[in-house]
Structure 1
Amino acid sequence: MKEVNKSIPKIDGIGLAQGKPAYTDDIAPQNSLIIKVLRSPHAFAKIKDINTVEAEKLPGVECVLTYKNVPRNIVTRAGQGYPEPSPHDKFILDEYVRYIGDEVAAVAAADEKIAEKAMKLIKVEYEILEPILDFEKAAGNQSIIHLEPEAHEMFPIGFNPSKNIAAEYHMHVGDVDEVLSKCEHVIRSTYYTQAQAHVAMETHTAAAYIDLHGRVNIISSTQTPFHVRRIVAEALALPIEKIRVVKPRIGGGYGGKQGLHGEFLVSLVALRTGKPAKLIYTRNEVFEASYCRHEMRFNIAIGADKEGNIRAIDMDLLSNTGAYGEHALTVFMVSGSKTLPLYNKIDAVRFGGKTVYTNLTPAGAYRGYGAIQGNFALESAIDELADKLGMNPVDLRIKNMIGQGETSPIFKIMGEGTEGTDMTIESCKLDYCVKRGMELSGWKEKFPRKEVSKGKVRGIGSAIAMQGSGIPYIDMGSAIIKLNDQGFFNLLVGATDIGTGSDTVLAQIAAEALGVPTSKIVVYSSDTDLTPFDCGAYASSTTYISGNAVRKTGLRMKEMIEEQGARRLDALKYDVVFDGEYIKTKDGTKSISLKDLSTELYYSNGQKQLVACESYYGKVSPPPFMGAFAEVEVDFETGKVDLLDYTAVVDCGTTLNPNLARIQVEGGLLQGIGMAMFEQAEYNEKGKLINNNLMKYKIPTRKDVKNFTVEFVETYEPSGPYGAKSVGEIGIDTPPAAIANAIYNATGVRIRDLPITAEKVLMGLKKK
């Protein structure tokens, strides 16, 4: 490996550090109309009357949109493959508003001040309806959130809006109740995970203009440009060939930008006025009116024999999708499909439950996507079982966890909305991850607790996790490589770099396949007109899916270069080899440089443009694995918890760019720590988000973790590009459980609802 498995700096790093124009707002047309959105002050209401006359009269106002003058085509905003597994339950604008922050009207004006003034001139009369703010009271509630007859699903997902159910699913292997009844030790517990905000530094931003051909050109900070094109076409009833979507640099996405947010409105305004338009969410709007993580409740039962062999797992789930059903089914499914296979030596397993509508901010995709919620519940329950068995929790995990060459029935039964794909784990060093993590964290010396001073105790906890690498038979990526004169290449990919460095990694893969330096690869990505199709940046798919497509394309281009070199050298194709600089006959008697060959091809000798294009879709989803250990210090007088050390050992196959992989894991860990200890969307009794800004919504910084230790174990995944698996999401999964387990080991207090605050710990200590 000459170009992969190397920490090459991000190819866009210098330009971004220098502040070059790169983001959506930087490159949106400078004369764009400014769009502002009037949002609902009520959690649930019907618009009885809306009067926009005075707003439209205001000088500088170009356009006012309401449900009365926009197309009424129902869609899902979830940027997912087609047919979409999320229910179609969203109009561009509707006469019903279903949460505080829902869109009522949009104003496009010459500047922001005029737009804001115009919004105040819009008169709206509401019929207030009874909202549902508690997701445990949603199913079958007399208040029905989605009454529209157009709402429908494309998957058989148990969609039942008359009962406020966005999705429902049930499966089992074996007779769980019978097996549990025969287990010597059974634990039954309930766990709650909270809604969490993404807090990407760049807010949601979209712009649109009409080009000379009359086509809508959308510039958007999106993770899924090809899905945006399809969904906007559907919502606006436009031919898809009339839409182009370009994704510039993105200042963080984390799943929040997988869905559509402003693209409908900027497109409509551009079409109505003929002028460019842009919509930039305020920070308050991002909190209140984009996406959050799905709030969940897990009821879990786990049974084992007296030797610690886990025999049955029963997981019942209730998930809160908020006002709309984006990812209602798929996040629900992943909470089981990416956790339950960890313990594959069982006799029976059951998983099922519902995803319900409420009148709160819609939930959507968020890094970890169900797996982090399920991992908190399952890995906390494993520790509770170990405690009941009187067994070291790490020993319990090692005894029961999945290993290389093994499988799980869950793989075949559960996918993301459909049946899964049967697979055998071909690369897995989870056992090494756990044992190495024990060494690095000092587990044997620190478990379970150690008193360090009067009133302060330290504890250490553990958790394991797995993820996936794309969605089998659904996610597809493709690439084009073009040889230019003088011997450099363009790599065109639909894959979406959202700050992860995927443009850099894909350039490295292309260079490795071709045998040239990465500096010879010039990348263009995420333009639906110019780059080939790609599903987008989600489901930990880019390195594995798009990377495999790039590798295939690079190898094909290398063959084409050798074919043309053989012709030029008057040799047979199989008698020449390209070494990255020269095409040579194998006997070494003839050669021509790539620089000379490419220049001849395009200027003087048998002119022919060389372009290669290949695609890839996964037939399996090889999981990355992690063993994690958290050390905390708890103050018994205040309940305050300090995270002293977090150790993570990761198996993600070949680390194609070790520095970028490390940054991905550390960033994921910090977000997981935020969910564990700091973050929660808090609503008042009317459904208003009260911590809707960065002064009130607390996220951790690097200073909140005293020490990170991240180490990679090198494995080789046969189906991955140069042995790679995914790494983007695995880091976020373990912190909630590992930290909860560490706090229990330190204090004897088991916190089963996130986040774990000083107040909860102190109250637990007082009860104890």
Structure 2
Amino acid sequence: MNGFEYIGKNIGKIDAMALATGQPLFTDDISFPNTLHIKILYSPHAHAIIEDIDTSEAEKIPRVKLILTYKNTPQVLHTTAGQGWPEPSPYDTCMFNKKVRYVGDRVAAVAAETEEIAYEALKHIKVNYKKLPAVFDPEEAMKEGAPVIHDEEGISGVYNPKRNIVSHIEVKAGDIEKGFEESDVVVEDTFEMQYAQHCPIEPHATITYLDEYGRLVIRTSTQVPFHVRRIVAQVLEIPVQNIRVIKPRIGGGFGVKQEIILEEISAFITLKTSRPARLVFTREEEFVSSRTRHPMKVTVKIGAKKNGIFNAIKMYALSNNGAYGTHGLTVTSNTGSKTLPLYNKAPNIEFIADVAYTNLPVAGAYRGYGATQGYAALEQVVDEIAEKLGMGPAEIRKINHIKVGETSPIFKALGEGREGVTQYIQSEATDKLLELGTKEIGWYEKIRKPAKEATKVRGIGMALLMQGSGIPLIDMGAATIKLNEDGSFNVLYGGTDIGTGLDTVVAQIVSETLGVKPEQIIVYAADTDVTPFDKGAYASSGTFISGGAVYNAALKVREQILEVTKEIFGEFNTKDFILKDGFVISEKSGKKVSLSEIAYQTLYLKKQQQIMATSSFVSDSSPPPFAAHFIEIEVDKETGIITPIKYVAAVDCGVAINPELAKGQIIGSIVNGIGYALTEEYKFSQTGKLINSNFMEYRIPSSRDIPDIKTILVETYEPKGPYGAKSVAEININGPIPAIGNALYNALGIRIHKLPYTPEKVLEALKNKGA
């Protein structure tokens, strides 16, 4: 970006050296003397009542200090979702419950001197279960007479617990039936997306202890430290002021750590024993008992005129939330709200969705947050209707997508669990994305009719995407910046760098605004005692919301510096001053003064004051990034194996504050999406037990599975974002499923409607086609 010193520059991550040299940065890297180790007993049944639980034999084991069950823990209904208060997720969860609702639900926890002793004690807990009928299919779960999963008293925020319906969503614009009647071509199709896990390299980990004043300290791998503090206080019925939450470095989040699922257990044990406590998930526990992506069946129906303009779009989503309702309403709202506005030329739109409880693992926040499932269906139906009209996939998208200055009724009608906001697009370069992407992939040279002769066949496909940047009028971030004697700055902000490089982006924003090198910025984040509030790392909000707060605080500090400089220079027009290389310089007189001198003047000499400022940021809109994805694949007709050959992602994320970090997020998101499209899938026994809870049987992409990925950043300027920035890290997971699906159709003329695209399904589709 021309004219900027640090914005748009590829500055290395400020924590890179510490990470590369193995410094103790992560939650479990630091140990405390006298720590108790916690292990959890899980339900072997999908649906059961605990008629009796006997811990007496386990308690006799030497060095076992405490055992928790529903009998001796608070029975406070709450949500585990780390969302802004009041949370749109239902209050349907207790720390421990007399009823278990899936294989992997909590039954008891043991705190002992070692992990081995804790594991041994679990074997001596005797539980008598009364098994109940279970239901695993969301359509069956919503039927009259199905087993009722949540029949307890006091739950709130559930649409119809007697029918296992967590949420029902219904939004309409125009006259949908008339829209289809007046269309020249109508296409309808259904796609079903599967359970999948986030697979962060670092599982959930929490250590709790009491500080020297007897306050509870929670050191935890979380995306939402301030929500952790509030919800733990709620569950344990203690004041917020008695809790401090510290977020160390995080070894991956992707949404799974937007939950409070360990912290309250470890905290309760620390309060009961006055000893440090440690609870770290194994990989199997991460699969079974943390959170997953929402399995979802999505039906899309599009009607279009002969000229290709869409006249009606209808989407129905059926979402499986598993045993508890966390994130159900908001994820499934996004299935419509982040997809349907992309094609705003259709005057008639309908989005209906149901979210159901089942006796399977709990779904939660996952990168893409419902939009992934929506685009999996929408972008394949767009290709289908283009074919019926005899139009090219790029051409039909060009004439239907939303443009600068335009809006969609869906923006206002459908937010994240509540009414949205009216917003108009202020930055967008979608036509350029399509132009550059088709050129890079060689679209018009490679597009072809389905092949019949060759054993190995290539095909290409595309998908057009949009997402958002934060949740408007809900998410807020805050930051404090102060000047030190040597001209450096401390930045204290509540945002959460989960490996994305947000701390580095924050340093670049402050460096640009205050005219110092990033090395002179000391960033400290996400400590509820020290930093201002921030909603956390989710909803594509890091750079936009947290970065926006930092930018506002930096502007206030800049103003204070310039006011002091006026007196030093004896000049009164601050418009003549610039901040550069640690100095304030008057372009009028040539005078200059160092920030260090200004700090000494204000801290020790004249008009003593600390140059510092705190500021917040909340947005009245959620500016969407846009992306056009393209893939070339090779399919072996004899084995059914799909091999990605080349992937192109053309992305508009506004001004990329750090282009290399942005590209890293794009590539990581695409790899995540390729795994979801081709290999990742939970497999269950007939009794609801997960049977592939390890990396041998649940296969995520390795370096050998990744194609050549080309990223193209197309710069626009978003006036609401810091230095014109929008989000980038989440949108790109939405492209691989529909792009690969469309490429598969281009190669072989088949569509697979139940994900993932496994070799077995490819061969079955070819057999059914008669190929």
Provide the TM-score with structure 2 as the length reference.
Answer: 0.97
Structure-1 separation of matches of 2:354 and 2:657: 39
Q: CA shift at 1:604, angstroms?
A: 4.0
Establish whether residue 17 from structure 1 lines up as the match of residue 25 from structure 2: no
Partner of 1:710: 711
Change in 2 beyond 3 A, CA 1:587/1:305: closer
Compare 358-367 and 140-149 and name the one that shifted more.
Answer: 140-149
**CA distances 1:261-284 after superposition (whole Å, capped 9, x unpaired):** 110111000000000001000000
What one-letter code is carried by the residue in structure 1 that aligns with 2:456?
K
Q: CA shift at 1:401, angstroms?
A: 1.3
Partner of 1:627: 628
Q: Please show how residues 473-622 of structure 1 align to structure 2 within 5 Å.
A: 473-572=473-572, 574=574, 577-580=577-580, 581-585=582-586, 587-588=588-589, 590-622=591-623
**CA distances 1:306-365 after superposition (whole Å, capped 9, x unpaired):** 222211011111100000011010000000000001111112110012100001110000
Establish whether residue 719 from structure 1 lines up as the match of residue 712 from structure 2: no
Structure-2 separation of matches of 1:695 and 1:603: 63
Q: CA shift at 1:178, angstroms?
A: 1.8
Q: CA shift at 1:174, angstroms?
A: 1.3
Q: CA shift at 1:582, angstroms?
A: 2.5
**CA distances 1:147-171 after superposition (whole Å, capped 9, x unpaired):** 1111102xxxx61111101111101
What one-letter code is carried by the residue in structure 2 that aligns with 1:163?
R
Structure-1 separation of matches of 2:651 and 2:299: 29
Structure-1 separation of matches of 2:452 and 2:559: 65
Q: Secondary structure at the match of 1:746?
A: helix
What one-letter code is carried by the residue in structure 2 that aligns with 1:658?
P
Q: CA shift at 1:570, angstroms?
A: 4.5
Q: Secondary structure at the match of 2:285?
A: helix
Q: Percent identity?
A: 49
Q: CA shift at 1:450, angstroms?
A: 7.8
Structure-2 separation of matches of 1:416 and 1:340: 14
Q: Secondary structure at the match of 1:532?
A: coil
Structure-2 separation of matches of 1:716 and 1:574: 26
Partner of 1:219: 219
Is the CA contact (8 Å cut-off) linking 1:562 and 1:576 kept in structure 2?
Answer: no
Q: CA shift at 1:212, angstroms?
A: 2.3
What one-letter code is carried by the residue in structure 2 that aligns with 1:287?
F
Change in 2 beyond 3 A, CA 1:689/1:629: same
Structure-1 separation of matches of 2:88 and 2:444: 46
Partner of 2:121: 118
Change in 2 beyond 3 A, CA 1:392/1:103: same
Change in 2 beyond 3 A, CA 1:589/1:622: closer
Partner of 1:762: 763
Establish whether residue 47 from structure 1 lines up as the match of residue 79 from structure 2: no
Is the CA contact (8 Å cut-off) linking 2:35 and 2:277 kept in structure 1?
Answer: yes
Structure-2 separation of matches of 1:697 and 1:405: 45
Is the CA contact (8 Å cut-off) linking 1:168 and 1:355 kept in structure 2?
Answer: yes
Compare 756-765 and 567-576 and name the one that shifted more.
Answer: 567-576
Partner of 1:277: 277
Please tell me the root mean square deviation across aligned C-alpha atoms, in Å: 1.4
Partner of 1:61: 64
Structure-2 separation of matches of 1:656 and 1:372: 25
Establish whether residue 288 from structure 1 lines up as the match of residue 288 from structure 2: yes
Structure-1 separation of matches of 2:402 and 2:340: 10
Residue of structure 1 aligned with 2:135, choices 120, 129, 132: 132
Q: CA shift at 1:57, angstroms?
A: 1.6
Establish whether residue 148 from structure 1 lines up as the match of residue 149 from structure 2: no
Structure-2 separation of matches of 1:58 and 1:573: 76
Structure-2 separation of matches of 1:393 and 1:709: 20
Q: Please show how residues 289-308 of structure 1 align to structure 2 within 5 Å.
A: 289-308=289-308
Is the CA contact (8 Å cut-off) linking 1:549 and 1:614 kept in structure 2?
Answer: yes
Compare 183-192 and 526-535 and name the one that shifted more.
Answer: 183-192
Establish whether residue 691 from structure 1 lines up as the match of residue 692 from structure 2: yes
Q: CA shift at 1:481, angstroms?
A: 0.3
Structure-1 separation of matches of 2:415 and 2:51: 43
Structure-2 separation of matches of 1:528 and 1:165: 36
Change in 2 beyond 3 A, CA 1:343/1:224: same
Structure-2 separation of matches of 1:294 and 1:138: 15
**CA distances 1:188-211 after superposition (whole Å, capped 9, x unpaired):** 211101111000000000110011
**CA distances 1:396-445 after superposition (whole Å, capped 9, x unpaired):** 11121111221111111111011111111110001110111000000001
Tell me the number of residue pairs that the alignment of Structure 1 and Structure 2 aligns: 764
Q: CA shift at 1:58, angstroms?
A: 1.2
Is the CA contact (8 Å cut-off) linking 1:170 and 1:353 kept in structure 2?
Answer: yes
Q: Secondary structure at the match of 1:546?
A: helix
Is the CA contact (8 Å cut-off) linking 1:206 and 1:220 kept in structure 2?
Answer: yes
Q: CA shift at 1:705, angstroms?
A: 2.4
Establish whether residue 364 from structure 1 lines up as the match of residue 367 from structure 2: no
Is the CA contact (8 Å cut-off) linking 2:515 and 2:583 kept in structure 1?
Answer: no
Q: Secondary structure at the match of 1:756?
A: coil
What one-letter code is carried by the residue in structure 2 that aligns with 1:84?
E
Partner of 2:76: 73
Establish whether residue 37 from structure 1 lines up as the match of residue 40 from structure 2: yes
Q: Secondary structure at the match of 1:58?
A: coil
Is the CA contact (8 Å cut-off) linking 2:266 and 2:277 kept in structure 1?
Answer: yes
Partner of 1:261: 261
Structure-2 separation of matches of 1:302 and 1:186: 6
What one-letter code is carried by the residue in structure 2 that aligns with 1:550?
V
What one-letter code is carried by the residue in structure 2 that aligns with 1:71?
P
What one-letter code is carried by the residue in structure 1 that aligns with 2:743?
A
Structure-1 separation of matches of 2:207 and 2:430: 45
Structure-1 separation of matches of 2:100 and 2:448: 51
**CA distances 1:714-736 after superposition (whole Å, capped 9, x unpaired):** 11111111010000101101110
Structure-2 separation of matches of 1:60 and 1:393: 66
Structure-2 separation of matches of 1:585 and 1:251: 46
Q: Please show how residues 742-753 of structure 1 align to structure 2 within 5 Å.
A: 742-753=743-754
Is the CA contact (8 Å cut-off) linking 1:245 and 1:528 kept in structure 2?
Answer: yes
Is the CA contact (8 Å cut-off) linking 1:318 and 1:353 kept in structure 2?
Answer: yes
Is the CA contact (8 Å cut-off) linking 1:558 and 1:578 kept in structure 2?
Answer: no
Compare 137-146 and 590-599 and name the one that shifted more.
Answer: 590-599
Q: Please show how residues 467-478 of structure 1 align to structure 2 within 5 Å.
A: 467-478=467-478
Partner of 2:637: 636
Is the CA contact (8 Å cut-off) linking 2:75 and 2:95 kept in structure 1?
Answer: yes
Structure-2 separation of matches of 1:452 and 1:491: 62
Is the CA contact (8 Å cut-off) linking 2:484 and 2:596 kept in structure 1?
Answer: no
Q: Secondary structure at the match of 1:192?
A: strand
Q: Secondary structure at the match of 1:209?
A: strand
Q: Secondary structure at the match of 1:391?
A: coil
Residue of structure 2 aligned with 1:102, choices 89, 102, 105: 105
